[in-house]
Amino acid sequence: MNWLSRVIKIGEKIKKNLKKKFPTKSEQQASSWASLECCIHKGPIQKEILEKNLHVCPHCNAHKRVSCIQRFDYFFGKDNYEILDYPQPQPDPIEFPGYKDKLKEAIKKTGQKSAFMICAGKVNDINVTAIASNFSFVGGSLGQHETECFLTAIQHAITNRNPIINFTSGGGIRVQENIIGLSGMARTTLAINELKNNNLIYLNVLCDPTAGGQAASYAMLGDLNIAEPGATVAFAGARVIKSTIKEELPVGFQKSESVLESGFIDLIVERSKLYEKIGSLLSILLKKNSDINTELSDEIKVESPNIKEAS
């Protein structure tokens, strides 16, 4: 055996050992441990602990990205809501190269049919329709499926006279769908307009990240725009801005705390307190309950003279 064969053999041995040392993706998913990468407490954490903490880091309070089902579970409570279906258009409308495979992969990875899911639930005794987005499904981007899902939620809210709560998380419009994806901005905006013509409430909860065409359309049209702590809320990404202006960006740039200061959003609420705060807000907006959280109504100026009570 010459020296080259020996080096190749050693290389193969190292590769084999490395494979044994690091778990595969499916092994990671099946494991009861998750990895924290948000703060100095970097390292493994039991998934059960993270779940109990609503996917918020117990050390630094980083609000992690979650799936649509986790979002509904954490907000309404497990089994306290009903998932709604929506009409599904043809996938891959312009037959963009590789898009079909990307969609298949996203469906397998998330168990969702699109980046959005919708449900009907209750906040205190108020019936609501909710929308959630999953960033793990093609970056939570808005395509024709997501738009149909959104429009179905709006129609459900109008039919049942429900307020809408929209948990947003996405990086923009689905580029693989070109103009069809882009038309989602106009269609969702018109749908919200219809909701408002019916005097119904539209609340946004901006989750990390809400950016691009989504921030430029439905995600900023709420009667109130609430954000989770530390969520990126932006139009153009920080890297693009930095390379354009060739300057260092301030600490916390485009984070919910800084956009609150500039008046871009109304309120920052921790995940564990969202249900209670939104319950109080809906009570105020619907004038449903005189025993409301006055501290909250002082915190933000709520004006909703035209909003009628939900049935």
Q: Which residues bind Zn ion (CB under 5 A)?
A: 38-39, 57, 59-60, 62
Helix/strand/coil for 227: strand
DSSP assignment of 247-275 equals SPPPTTTTBHHHHHHTTSSSEE--GGGHH
Task: Write down the least CB distance from residue 39 to Zn ion, Å.
Answer: 3
- Supply 301's token pair: 């100026």
Task: Write down the least CB distance from residue 249 to Zn ion, Å.
Answer: 22
Q: Taking phi first (over 0 means left), then psi (-120 to 50 degrees means alpha), and beta for anything else, what does residue 233 get?
A: beta
Give the residue with the Cβ less far from Zn ion, 62 or 268: 62
User: 124 near 288, Cβ under 8 Å?
Assistant: no
Half-sphere exposure of 88 (CA within 13 A, CB side): 10
Task: Write down the least CB distance from residue 38 to Zn ion, Å.
Answer: 3
Query: Which residues are paired to 36 by β-bridges?
Result: 43
Give the residue with the Cβ less far from Zn ion, 13 or 59: 59
Task: Write down the least CB distance from residue 63 to Zn ion, Å.
Answer: 10
Give the residue with the Cβ less far from Zn ion, 33 or 264: 33
Give the residue with the Cβ less far from Zn ion, 39 or 49: 39
Task: Write down the least CB distance from residue 284 to Zn ion, Å.
Answer: 33
Task: Write down the least CB distance from residue 19 to Zn ion, Å.
Answer: 29
DSSP assignment of 108-140 equals HHHS-SSSEEEEEEEETTEEEEEEEE-TTTGGG
Task: Write down the least CB distance from residue 57 to Zn ion, Å.
Answer: 3
Q: How far apart are the first and last CA of the chain?
A: 83
Give the residue with the Cβ less far from Zn ion, 45 or 302: 45
Give the residue with the Cβ less far from Zn ion, 70 or 183: 70
Give the residue with the Cβ less far from Zn ion, 66 or 285: 66
Residue 209 CB contacts under 8 Å (≥ 6 apart), including other chains: 135, 169, 170, 171, 231, 232, 233, 234
Q: Is 295 exposed, middle or buried (0-12, 13-18, 19+ CB in 10 A)?
A: exposed
